[in-house]
Amino acid sequence: MQGNIALDAEDERKREEELRAMEEKTERERMAATRASLPIFQYREGLLKAVEEYQVLIIVGETGSGKSTQIPQYLHETGFSKLGKIGCTQPRRVAAMSVAARVAEEVGCKLGNEVGYSIRFEDCTSEKTILKYMTDGMLMREFLGEPDLASYSVMIIDEAHERTLQTDVLFGLIKDIARYRNDIKLLISSATLDAEKFSEYFDYAPIFRIPGRRYPVDIMYTKAPEADYMDAAVVTTLQIHVTQPAGDVLIFFTGQEEIETCEEILRQRTRSMGSKISEMIICPIYANLPSQLQAKIFEPTPEGARKVVIATNIAETSLTIDGIRYVIDPGFAKQNSFNPRTGMESLIVTPVSKAAAMQRTGRAGRTGPGQCFRLYTAWSFQHELEDNTIPEIQRTNLGNVVLMLKSLGINDLMNFDFMDPPPAETLLRALEQLYALGALNDRGELTKLGRKMAEFPLDPMLAKAMVASDAYGVSEEVITVCAMLTCGGTVFYRPKDKQVHADNAHNNFHRGNVGDHVALMNVYNSWRDSGHSTQWCYENFVQIRELKRARDIRDQLVGLMERVEIDLRSDSSAHEQIKKSITAGYFYHTAQLQKNGSYRTVKNPQTVHIHPGSGMREQLPRWVVYHELVLTSKEYMRSVTEIRSEWLVEIAPHYYDKSVVAGDEAGSKGAPKGKGRSSLQGVAQVV
């Protein structure tokens, strides 16, 4: 009897195993079929031959043709990975994670084993990793440890058309490597057709084109300019949903806030329509979205339903979502903008370029004919949009990049081989700032302090605050503040129907007018003391997601502090010491109260205001240090802390004059002394 049961159980186990093996086989077959159906597949052999033959190859193929997911696999399958890792850079974190996840699935391994990714503050790779996806910023950091990229046999710079700051700098660095490492292969992959420029830059490297499959897309414009593109987008989506045949919708917005608003409105409206309409599956996608939600956009849409993907320009070329048939393009994107004269850096909502608009349109025609609704007029498209987006290197602060390049021993920045050089003024501005922070000496060379600062994947000002905290005995606290500032700055949650409750809860963290920096530390420490409780987050109206991210970032920063041999010391009640550490990094970002209640920035005077979200908005202290300026209806300072003017002379004597302390009423007395400028001219001469 017992024997029979044992036999049955054994049979059962065998049957289950067979079933699983069959499922796995069909899954593998399905995956192989999907891979074979991508446009790039039929060019596999030709591509591999070209890679064999040439050291540098430019690859052009439409978004979704399979460049990011397939090329590294092809190279691996042919044995390149025996000679070293295959690296592939992505301008965006989400793309690096999502593409790596997909490839791990196709290869049939656990993410982080043979296939992994590395993004700032998150390393999902191991000893085993041979296909490594990473952000372009991370590859730049890898140069610090491995200047010849010795562990790689192939490096793919993907999404090169995006021309991010880091990609542009990488071009210069890898071009140099190619000269003395004959064994490394470089692939520059781009979704746009203007590849000649890339080819020319890389000494006329050959261009390999992957013809895409494209279906026609009808483009519709509005008759008159739209006053409210949010409303127009919502109405258009609902009209499509109610009147048009099956097919998913993709809407482009400028950022998380707009995406969440649109999601909320769509949910409300569809709820009020009840069962009269078919199901609408709303999927937001933006950089800070948790990865399990990101995966949702790739899930096939069930029969009878319609998926509406609401995305930033991440879905323009970085991510390909199958099944999109309708694109709604309000015509805007957030862009960095930097004014070297004033040092003002802001993220500004800007009209997209014609090239970007065309890419957005193209998303509707991947799997069949589609429609694109441009929420602007045909005249605007023709006459108001720029042809191409200006490369980031020409419109952003270069502090970080200059510090990196200096650490790599590249001193002559004016003659660095940039594809499109940054404005000389911006370069000088970065050098000037690094000099003021003490990262460069007056000959423009990296100092010991600068070397330490370069270890941190942070803005030089934050890095300086971290290093400075050592002298003030509050490194633990400053690490927390920096982690909180780095993780996004939207930790305080203020639901519309509970604003009073939320404000009361938030006020607790600001008690004693400690300033926004210490308040951020208070939030983190209270959460930590609650045992990282979720309930605590609900009660205090703070975003648990942000705190968890801050915790991860904090862990990494602790490791880096140890690496630069800074002791971890803590005194959370020493607010003055914490503020002084922040000021040591941010003395550049100081402002003085004016008689009319506004502020004037000390360096390059400009009128600014305290952000309405700041705990200091009603205090109006005489002197403040701020984290960043944001331009919305006005120029606002975000994350503001009160300082005493004499600290400036104490902390940055080379930069501030005693007259700052003498009188701190409005006027010219607060201006930094001329010495900073004249010494910098010294720096300018040596670069």
Q: Give dist(CA 133, CA 131) in Å, integer.
A: 7
- State which of residues 57, 59, 65, 639 lies at the interface with ligand ADP (CB under 6 A): 65
Among 44, 69, 262, 586, binds ligand ADP (CB under 6 A): 69
Stretch that binds ligand ADP, among 67-75, 129-137, 196-204, 563-571 (CB under 6 A): 67-75
DSSP-assigned letters across all residues of 279-305 = -EEEEEE-TTS-HHHHGGGGSPPPTT-
CA angle, 319 then 120 then 253, to 5°: 40
Candidate segments 63-71, 238-246, 274-282, 653-661, binder of ligand ADP by CB under 6 A: 63-71
* Residue matched to tokens 């691996």: 76
Strands 56-61 and 185-190: what pairing?
Answer: parallel
Helix axes 475-486 and 575-586, enclosed angle (nearest 10) = 50
Q: Is the Cβ of residue 68 or residue 583 nearer to ligand ADP in the bound state? A: 68
Q: Which stretch binds ligand ADP (CB under 6 A): 82-90, 94-102, 171-179, 618-626?
A: 94-102
Please, what is the minimum distance in Å from the beta carbon of residue 363 to ligand ADP?
11
Q: Which of 73, 98, 125, 592 binds ligand ADP (CB under 6 A)?
A: 98
Nearest distance from C-beta of residue 89 to ligand ADP, angstroms: 12
Helix (H) or strand (E) holding 206: none
Answer yes or no whether residue 400 interacts with ligand ADP by CB under 6 A. no
Interface mask (CB under 6 A) for ligand ADP, residues 100-129, using x and -?
-xx---------------------------
Q: What residue has token string 């502020």?
A: 599
> Rounded to the nearest whole angstrom, what is the least distance from the CB of residue 480 to ligand ADP in the complex?
34
Does position 652 bind ligand ADP by CB under 6 A?
no
Contact 455, 564 (CB under 8 A): yes
**7-15, 97-105, 334-342, 385-393 -> range binding ligand ADP (CB under 6 A):** 97-105
Q: For ligand ADP, which is the closer residue by CB, 66 or 365?
A: 66
When the beta carbons of 134 and 608 are compared against ligand ADP, the nearer one is 134
Q: Which residue has the tokens 């208070």?
A: 522
Q: Which of 298, 344, 620, 686 binds ligand ADP (CB under 6 A)?
A: 298
Q: Among 44, 51, 57, 64, indicate the residue that binds ligand ADP (CB under 6 A).
A: 64
- Between 66 and 343, CB nearer to ligand ADP: 66
Based on the shown chain and the rule CB under 6 A, indicate whether residue 63 belongs to the binding site for ligand ADP.
yes
> In angstroms, what is the minimal distance from the CB of 33 to ligand ADP?
13
Site residues for ligand ADP, window 321-340 (CB under 6 A)?
322
* Total residue length of the chain: 687
Separation CA 399–CA 442 (nearest Å): 16
Among 47, 56, 58, 67, binds ligand ADP (CB under 6 A): 67
Q: In the complex, what is the shortest distance from the CB of residue 17 to ligand ADP, in angstroms, rounded to a whole number?
A: 28
Beta pairing class for 599-601 and 590-593: antiparallel
Give, as ranges, the residues between 446 and 465 that touch ligand ADP (CB under 6 A).
none
Side-chain half-sphere exposure of 154, counting CA atoms within 13 A: 28
C-alpha to C-alpha distance for 263 and 271, rounded to whole angstroms = 12
Size of the site for ligand ADP (CB under 6 A): 17
Residue 56 phi/psi, 5-degree rounding, is -120, 130
Nearest approach, Cβ of 68 to ligand ADP (angstroms)? 3
Among 56, 59, 60, 68, binds ligand ADP (CB under 6 A): 68
Work out which of 47, 57, 66, 75 binds ligand ADP, going by CB under 6 A.
66
Region binding ligand ADP by CB under 6 A among candidate stretches 96-104, 383-391, 429-437, 509-517: 96-104
Q: From residue 63, give the alpha-carbon distance in Å to each of 101, 318, 458, 508.
A: 18, 8, 31, 49
320 binds ligand ADP (CB under 6 A): yes
- Vertex 496: Cα angle to 493 and 498 (nearest 5): 75
- Read off the tokens for 94: 């989400």
Coil, strand or helix: which one is 223?
Answer: coil
- 69: nearest Cα among 107, 113, 26: 107
Q: With beta carbons less than 8 A apart as the criterion, state whether 56 and 203 touch.
A: yes
Q: What whole-number distance in Å separates Cα of residue 58 and Cα of residue 603?
A: 44
Residues that bind ligand ADP (CB under 6 A): 38, 61, 63-70, 98-99, 101-102, 298, 320, 322
